[in-house]
């Protein structure tokens, strides 16, 4: 369930405080991002686990190229459409306030249920124990359940262009990942559902051919 005591009311006020003009600006920027990013193999006929595993790393690289950032991105498929939520962009328009891990779980699970998704991916920047930066993308399938992680080294050098470059890439099976649990059933109240619906306008989407 959504943890209202610390996060829901604060996020509810923050979303309302954005105002229509900021929401419109954000949507325009997300649409531009979504149009620019898929200059790839959008000839796929079905949006599913295999599509995300194959294309999401390339789409994410295009987002990095266009924005010069390493955002947290959540995306999912419903066979016909590919949806994308740029979590970091939302944070920028929310006075730097990010989405807590508990709210992330509730929000992502809600979106997957609401759009009857068959698969999803979550990409974020992490730091290894040796301080090496890594992009970790968890790709999860609903039926049959399976989860894999695509881990790629990232390097940032302010003295070169482009300043963001990539290193080794590896793929692992990760059924026990905490980021592979968004398909698990959740119970939310009607009030919480109405709150989570407020995030839906921030989704970008693309229809596959």
Q: What is the pLDDT of residues 93-108, one digit of tens each?
A: 666 777 888 889 999 9
CA distances to 69, 88, 162, 202 from 93, rounded to whole Å, are 15, 9, 25, 11
User: Residue 31 belongs to what domain range?
Assistant: 4-207
Q: What is the pLDDT of residues 95-144, one digit of tens each?
A: 677 788 888 999 999 999 999 999 999 999 999 999 999 999 999 999 99
Over range 147-175, report the average pLDDT.
96
> Does the pLDDT of residue 41 top 60, yes or no?
no
* Residues near 66 by beta carbon (within 8 Å), at least 6 away in sequence: 33, 36, 37
What's the pLDDT at 87? Answer: 87
- N-terminal to C-terminal alpha carbon distance within the chain: 36
With CA atoms as reference, report the closest residue to 142 among 99, 181, 172, 100: 181
Between 22 and 59, the higher pLDDT residue: 59
Can you say whether residue 132 is alpha, beta or left, with left for phi > 0 and alpha for psi between -120 and 50 degrees?
beta
| Overall number of domains in the chain | 1
């Amino acid at each position: 369930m959504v943890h209202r005591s610390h996060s829901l009311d604060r996020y509810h006020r923050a979303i309302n405080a954005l105002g229509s003009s900021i929401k419109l600006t954000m949507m325009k920027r997300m649409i531009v991002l979504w149009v620019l990013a898929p200059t790839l193999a959008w000839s796929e006929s079905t949006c599913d686990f295999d599509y995300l595993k194959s294309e999401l790393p390339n789409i994410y690289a295009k987002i990095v190229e266009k924005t010069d950032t390493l955002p947290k991105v959540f995306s999912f498929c419903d066979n016909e459409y590919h949806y994308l939520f740029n979590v970091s962009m939302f944070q920028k328009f929310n006075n730097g306030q990010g989405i807590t891990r508990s709210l992330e779980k509730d929000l992502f699970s809600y979106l997957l249920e609401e759009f009857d998704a068959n698969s999803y991916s979550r990409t974020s920047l992490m730091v290894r124990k040796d301080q090496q930066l890594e992009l970790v993308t968890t790709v999860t399938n609903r039926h049959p359940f399976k989860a894999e992680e695509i881990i790629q080294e990232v390097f940032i050098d302010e003295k070169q262009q482009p300043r963001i470059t990539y290193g080794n890439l590896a793929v692992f099976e990760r059924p026990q990942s905490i980021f592979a649990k968004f398909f698990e059933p959740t119970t939310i109240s009607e009030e919480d559902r109405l709150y989570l619906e407020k995030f839906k306008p921030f989704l970008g989407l693309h229809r596959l051919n």
